Amino acid sequence: MSDSTSHLIGLLLGTETDWPQAFETLTRRLGAVQHEGRRHELTTERITIEPFDLRAPVRYDVVIDRLAWWYYHPREWLKKAALVNDTYLLNNPFTFQAMEKHSAYCAMMRLGFDIPSTVLVPYKNPVDHEKWAYTAGTYNLPFDLDEVADRVGYPMFMKPFDGGAWRGVSRVDDPQALHQAYDASGQMLMHLQAAADYDSFARSLTIGPRTQVMRFRPELPMHDRYEVRHDFLPADAGQEILTLSRTINAFFRWEFNSCESLVTGSRVQPIDYANACPDIAITSLHYYFPWAITQLLSWSAFCAVTGRKPRVDTGSREWFDIADDESLSWNDKLGRYAGLADRYFEVGRYEEFCATALADLPGIVLDWVDSPAFDDLLVETVRGTYPAAEHDRFLAHFRGLIGSWVADQR
Ligand SMILES: Nc1ncnc2c1ncn2[C@@H]1O[C@H](COP(=O)(O)OP(=O)(O)O)[C@@H](O)[C@H]1O
Ligand SMILES: [Mg+2]
């Protein structure tokens, strides 16, 4: 175990190398931080996958995970670390690894958010297994898909209940497309969800208690999806998205997550918000990358240095009590949710920590992003991401966006 003034942050990684290098570099450049009269050293280490004894100690104070959603072994290691070792995990593995989009829809509907009408239909092709044949014949009643779809209303989206990376998502405009999509769904379990019209597609990335709301253009290639545009939402819609993002996260004990909301005027319809450990690649976030990496480091440092205790329990009842209180208006409820979220995230203590222990961090990030070392990382990332013929074009594109971030900070 590390002593009280030395903290190890573990990174559980997939294929990406850009943000981990940024995170490691900035942790080194930050050096030791002072908190309540003590010096705290922070170091990082990439976690390897190995046999583990369920009682074995864990050396990491905090783990940032980008892998366990896809692989069972690291997923089960995280659960053991949470239960046996009290390791601080940015996302509660019992509500993230074990759940899906569907539960997040249900919870946010219960809290009163404006989720488009959504129906779960039984499998087109249920798993083939002896006992199911009896159950299916006896209890899985035939149903009229057209009648279900009429209740949802066209146009709609058919998409897997557990979602992710647009797999199996289709827009359905008429009964013919409905049957085609359902026939093609095979062994995926599908939602039918009313399509929402929108002026703006807002993607909000939340790390700890801080949220960046970005205008997203899903129809464009990845490198162009986040538009650099400030103040694109009416103030009340922007505020609702901030509250929504933190509410979902505090409700499920997620601290690194992104949400998608469709906004028309002041109306906010969230459609996808169980994206814990989202993509934060330089090539996706570009202008917003320095913000994301700063928050990730700040929140991890806060949790490690202050010894914040991980919570795998959820306090759903206190949220439901607000939701069910008929004397409260929607704005009152939003205010109460924001209050619960602030309490969960220890907002005051965190802001204070950032202003004192991490006072130098924004300058350190700015100097690094504006240095040849960052440009080397950008070049390496572009070379590793795009075909050779596109390197110059993409380098110019990202250098321009990063340059405008540097100019805006200065
Ligand atoms: N109800 C909806 N109304 C309008 N567009 C939708 C709706 N649901 C999904 N979409 C579109 O489909 C895309 C993928 O759906 P989403 O629920 O985000 O799935 P995934 O988890 O695969 O990202 C969204 O980014 C959006 O462009
Ligand atoms: Mg999505």
**What DSSP assignment string belongs to 262-325?**
EEETTEEEEEE----S----HHHHGGGHHHHHHHHHHHHHHHHHTTPPP--S--HHHHHHHHT-
Atom 1 of ligand 1: nearest residue by CA position: 195
Q: Which fold has domain 200-276+309-345?
A: D-amino Acid Aminotransferase; Chain A, domain 1 (3.30.470)
Ligand 2 centre from 164 Cα, in Å?
A: 6
Which contacts qualify for 43-48: CB closer than 8 Å, 24 or more apart? 43/6, 43/7, 43/8, 43/9, 44/8, 44/9, 44/10, 44/11, 45/8, 45/9, 45/10, 45/11, 46/10, 46/11, 46/13, 46/20, 47/10, 47/11, 47/12, 47/13, 47/74
Sheet holding 118-121, edge to edge: 118-121, 190-194, 156-160, 170-172
Residues 6+ apart with CB under 8 A from 27: 9, 42, 43, 44, 297
Query: What pLDDT score does 388 carry?
Result: 96
Ligand nearest to the CA of 172: 1
Ligand approaching nearest to the C-alpha of 219: 1
Rg, Å, the chain Cα set: 23
- Residue-by-residue DSSP string for 251-273: HHTBSEEEEEEEEETTEEEEEE-
* List of the chain residues with pLDDT < 70: 1-4, 98-99, 129-130
Of ligand 1's listed atoms, the one at least distance from the Cα of 167 is: 22
Q: What 3-state DSSP class applies to 142?
A: coil
DSSP-derived secondary structure for 40-62: EEEEEEEPPP----TT-----SE
Q: Which atom of ligand 1 is nearest to the CA of 166?
A: 22
Structure tokens at 26: 């900035």
CA of 160, nearest ligand number: 1
Query: How is residue 184 annotated by DSSP?
Result: H
Nearest residue (by CA) to ligand 1, atom 5, is 195
Residue in the structure block whose two tokens are 């206190």? 318
Alpha carbons within 13 angstroms on the beta-carbon side of residue 11 total: 19
Ligand 1 neighbours by CB, cut-off 6 Å: 116, 157, 159, 163-167, 169, 193, 195-196, 218, 260, 262, 271-272
Q: Specify the 3-state DSSP secondary structure of 30.
A: helix
Whether the CB-CB separation of 120 and 330 falls below 8 Å is answered with no
The closest residue, in CA terms, to atom 22 on ligand 1 is: 166
- The answer to whether the beta carbons of residues 16 and 281 sit under 8 Å apart is yes
> What local confidence, expressed as pLDDT, does residue 196 receive?
95
Residue matched to tokens 């220890």: 346
What is the per-residue pLDDT for 4? Answer: 58
Instruction: Please give the single-letter amino acid code of residue 20.
Output: P
What is the model's pLDDT at position 98? 62
Number of alpha helices (DSSP H) and beta strands (DSSP E) in the chain = 16, 14
β-bridge pairing 170-172 and 200-207: unpaired
Ligand 1, residue 218: give the atom nearest the CA.
27
Sheet holding 200-207, edge to edge: 226-227, 210-216, 200-207, 256-264, 267-272
Topology of the domain covering 6-96: Rossmann fold (3.40.50)
Q: Compute the distance from residue 262 Cα to the ligand 2 centre, in Å.
A: 11
pLDDT of residue 359: 98
Instruction: Give the start-to-end residue ranges of the domains of the chain.
Output: 6-96, 117-194, 200-276+309-345, 361-409
Measure 126 CA to ligand 2 centroid, in angstroms: 25
**Does domain 117-194 sit in CATH 3.40.10.10?**
no
Ligand 1 mean position, distance from CA 376 (Å): 35
Residue located via tokens 């109460």? 336
- pLDDT value of residue 1: 43
Q: In 121-137, which positions are buried (b, 16+ CB within 10 angstroms) versus exposed (e)?
A: beebeeeeeeeeeeeee
**What is the rounded CA–CA span in Å between residue 149 and residue 154?**
7
Q: Which atom of ligand 1 is nearest to the CA of 198?
A: 4
Two tokens at 22? 């940024």
